[in-house]
Amino acid sequence: MKMIKKFQAPVGPISKIVGKSIVLIGDDIDTDRIIPARFLKCVNFDNLGQSVFEDDRKNLKGKHPFDLASNKGSSILIVNSNFGCGSSREHAPQALLRWGIRAIIGESFAEIFYCNCIAIGIPCFTLPKTLVKNIQENKNINNSLCEIDINKSTLKSTFFNFDLEIKISSKNMFLSGEWDATSTLLANKKLIEKKINDLPYTKFNQSNELFETI
């Protein structure tokens, strides 16, 4: 019987990620490709992991990086530029997370995809184009564990060492565990209630039945 490892979502402060790298080459890889729309017909994210890159994988008949035996168990995804562009579907990073991805390093990321990754505990780091290429072309990539230190923003392995870039706000959120933002936001309950009363349009939309509680 096939053993399925139980999915464990990231939780709390994240300061280190250790794992094998998986290289995915291509610019402007959109979220429709990461998870095609037909898999969005679901009311939870539980079964998305197996469908990540479904159409690209079928097309490559076993040769897609997410199907190669050498990439099995990898957790650090190395991508090129504008990764995750297009649709805002959080299903895309959720599918990557459920496949096993715990960090992404690339030349650049699409805005909403980046925010979604942060919100579910996947740190995204940037590196200049040439250095990304350097990692992607490294023949020993499958033979060594990589270690990402979020505080120092470094990537270390037997074969290479790089300084990574990460937005300071994202870095702070991972180190403190506040990347799961709800409780941090809720802590300002009083300020939120003051804000809604201070906004000019709250007043002139007051008589509007749609803005009244039903």
Partner 1 sequence: MSKDTLFDKVWDLHKVSSLPGGSDQIFIGLHLIHEVTSPQAFGALKDKSLKVKFPCRTVATVDHIVPTDNQSRPFKDNLAEQMIETLEKNCIEHKIRFFNIGSGNQGIVHVVAPELGLTQPGMTIACGDSHTSTHGAFGSIAFGIGTSQVRDVLATQTIAMNKLKVRQIWCENKLSNGVYAKDLVLHIINKLGVKAGVGFAYEFAGPAIDSLSMEERMTICNMSIEGGARCGYINPDEKTFSYIKNKLCAPKHENWDEALLWWKSLKSDANSIYDAVTKIDASKVEPTVTWGITPGQSVGINQKIPLLKELSPDDQFVAEEAFEYMGFKPGQSIKDTPIDVCFIGSCTNGRISDLRVAARVIKDKKVSQNIKAFVVPGSEKVAKEAKIEGLDKIFLDAGFQWREPGCSMCLAMNSDKLIGNQVSASSSNRNFKGRQGSPTGRTLLMSPAMVAAAAISGKVTDIRDFM
CB-nearer residue toward partner 1: 126 or 157: 126
CB-nearer residue toward partner 1: 71 or 170: 170
Q: Segment 12-41, which members bind partner 1 (CB under 8 A)?
A: 26-28, 30, 32-33, 36-38, 40-41
CB-nearer residue toward partner 1: 3 or 11: 11
- Which residue bears the tokens 């992404």? 104
CA distance 82 to 64: 20
- Which residue bears the tokens 């991805």? 101
Which member of 1, 62, 69, 200 binds partner 1 (CB under 8 A)?
A: 200
Q: Segment 139-178, which members bind partner 1 (CB under 8 A)?
A: 167-170, 172-173, 176, 178
Contact 140, 158 (CB under 8 A): yes
Q: Segment 72-101, which members bind partner 1 (CB under 8 A)?
A: 80-82, 85-91, 93
193's tokens:
């209630």
Q: How many CB atoms lie within 10 A of CB 205?
A: 12
Region of 99 (left: φ > 0; alpha: ψ -120 to 50; beta: rest) is: alpha
Burial of 136 (C-beta count, 10 Å sphere; 0-12/13-18/19+):
middle
Q: Which helix (H) or strand (E) holds 163?
A: strand 161-163
Residue 214 Cβ vs partner 1, minimum distance, rounded to whole Å? 5
115 binds partner 1 per the rule CB under 8 A: yes
Which member of 13, 16, 72, 111 binds partner 1 (CB under 8 A)?
A: 111
Residue 207 Cβ vs partner 1, minimum distance, rounded to whole Å? 6
Binding-site size, partner 1 (CB under 8 A):
73
CA distance 93 to 80: 16
58 binds partner 1 per the rule CB under 8 A: yes
Residue 113 Cβ vs partner 1, minimum distance, rounded to whole Å? 8
